[in-house]
Amino acid sequence: MDYSKLVDVYEQLNKTTKRLEKTHIISEFLKDVSIDDTEHVMLLLEGRVFPSYDSREIGVASRLMLKSLSTATGISVDKIENEWKKQGDLGLVAEIIVKTKKQETLHSAKLTIKKVVDNIRKLAELEGEGTVERKTQLIAELLTSAKPIESKYIVKTILGEMRIGVGEGVMRDAIVWAFFDKKIGIKYTQEMNDIEVEDREIYNKYLDEVQRAYDVSNEFAEVAKTARLKGIEGLKNMEMNVGIPIKVMLALKADTIEEAFETVGKPAAVEFKYDGFRIQGHKDEKGNIRLFTRRLEDVTKQFPDVAESVRRNVKGKIFIIDSEAVGYNRKTGRYMPFQNISQRIKRKYDIDKMSVDFPVELNVFDIIYYEGKSIINESFDKRRKLLEKIVRQEPKKIVLSRIKIVSEKKDVEKFFKDAVNAGNEGLMFKSLDSPYKPGARVGYMIKFKHIMETLDLAIVGAEWGEGKRSKWLSSYTIACVDDNGNFVEVGRVSTGLKEKKEEGLSFEEMTKLLKPLIINDKGKEVKVKPRVVIEVGYEEIQKSPTYESGFALRFPRVIGLRVEKGPNDASTLDYITKLYESQKKS
């Protein structure tokens, strides 16, 4: 399929903010996409060329893109950079300069979707001497053949800056509309921006099946192909694959013990809420252990000690367990805040030394696959009993999470004190008869803390400091995620960081993280790719016309980095709205 057809869809999607209209646009397009092109199309609609669990990175920064644009068009890097400063968007710059490219030898051949994906994927495979030049040529090859509007989206895809407002919900619904519209009787009316369905109950069942298939496969491409070739029965038969991570089940929040009980029921399991990071442990039929974070990143190499603990202490040939890795003080044995071990996640060198200096204990709290069978539909009570049979506990290496079955408030309060005294954040409430629901915040699991809930926010801009801080980016524009997956600003934060790195998270460390992500600068202020997520504390959420979100944080402060979270894991605007409303009630 010609890439231009997908670009037409991008353009249509950018012209509307209406979710149903976006769903209609994508569903109509999918009907004309061949099976061979489906995988690439679904990935490109999500703004990527690799599945979310694939650790490969394209590895192209803005400076390399400037060079590639110059090579493709014959226009100097300085002129392109000046245009970039005016426009603030390299994709838009590409569209503008390709219209005026001056190399007489350039010719425009039709680009296919496959060619675009193949070239971009090759970028991730290059390494060693001459890598920059080879990457430049691969990108220039695409831009040379691209129409101006095509070049815009090629650049955005390579830089990871695609923002067309297509979230998981839109992708899921589009698959249903595209491949089951005749069976369900779906009719979209653009004027009313509404749909009619012949049987709402059947429609909802189809949505549920597509969502379930995505939850266990983590690939919309596979879901779309299965829906098209094998129908609803094929989707029902889709199961998780060991070695491919699935999205973890997430928790809702309760402000009181009574509210938590009301949601999960009595009796309930209460469990220590650890201040660590999620680890999904996989063991395949060959005995290989792989560890994935909540963001689906493979961190097996960074945590050989954890992999060995799983191999040695969990009985079973094939399984997937859910757990939390928690740092502890080797001298006192007391649990430590997540920030003390966060640097291990991204570490590529001195792994053995890091394992000694920053030890972790794996607290296993759930199991979702065992001996070739998915058990996500089994009750939590049964899954927990299975864990108790197969996990051999080795303190400070791998243990079962601390848990207690309770029905009374006083028992919860006592257990809460135990959790906090051990260095934990609070408690998790869990429904005993609940299934495991991947990727969703459901009422089966509730987090309970007695402190003001912090926010996880993406940095979208920064400002160079003054005086002795002039060499650092020392003030950060922070954003949450709205319903369309766009980042909307909610304030600025500059307090909470240190001038000396040995004292904690420093301005120098933040500058090193943010500097390669700069996409535009104007005086002292810069815009950055929303890649870095930080935990932010605050005194109050206020209404504000200053920021796109409509809210501002009063006295915000940086608590720490959230290296285990991606930008799409940032707190949502809906969540911030609910926190604001809860403030008024208290």
- Please identify every residue annotated as catalytic: 273
Strands (E) located in 98-211: 186-189, 194-197
Distances from the Cα of 203 to the Cαs of 11, 178, 187, 498, 576, in angstroms? Answer: 29, 13, 12, 54, 31
Distances from the Cα of 8 to the Cαs of 26, 37, 85, 322, in angstroms? Answer: 11, 16, 27, 42
Q: 204: which residues sit within 8 A by CB, 6+ positions away?
A: none
The CA angle 565-163-178, to the nearest 5 degrees, is: 100
Q: CA-based Rg of the chain, rounded to a whole angstrom?
A: 25
The whole-angstrom separation of Cα 71 and Cα 68 is: 5
- CA 372 from chain center: how many Å? 28
Give the count of beta carbons closer than 10 Å to the beta carbon of residue 160. Answer: 16
Give, for 96, the enclosing helix (H) or strand (E). helix 90-99
The whole-angstrom separation of Cα 497 and Cα 469 is: 12
Secondary structure of 414-455 in HEC code, one letter for each residue: HHHHHHHHCCCCEEEEEECCCCCCCCCEEEEEEEECCCCCCE
Q: In this structure, are residues 35 and 228 in contact, taking their beta carbons and an 8 Å threshold? A: yes
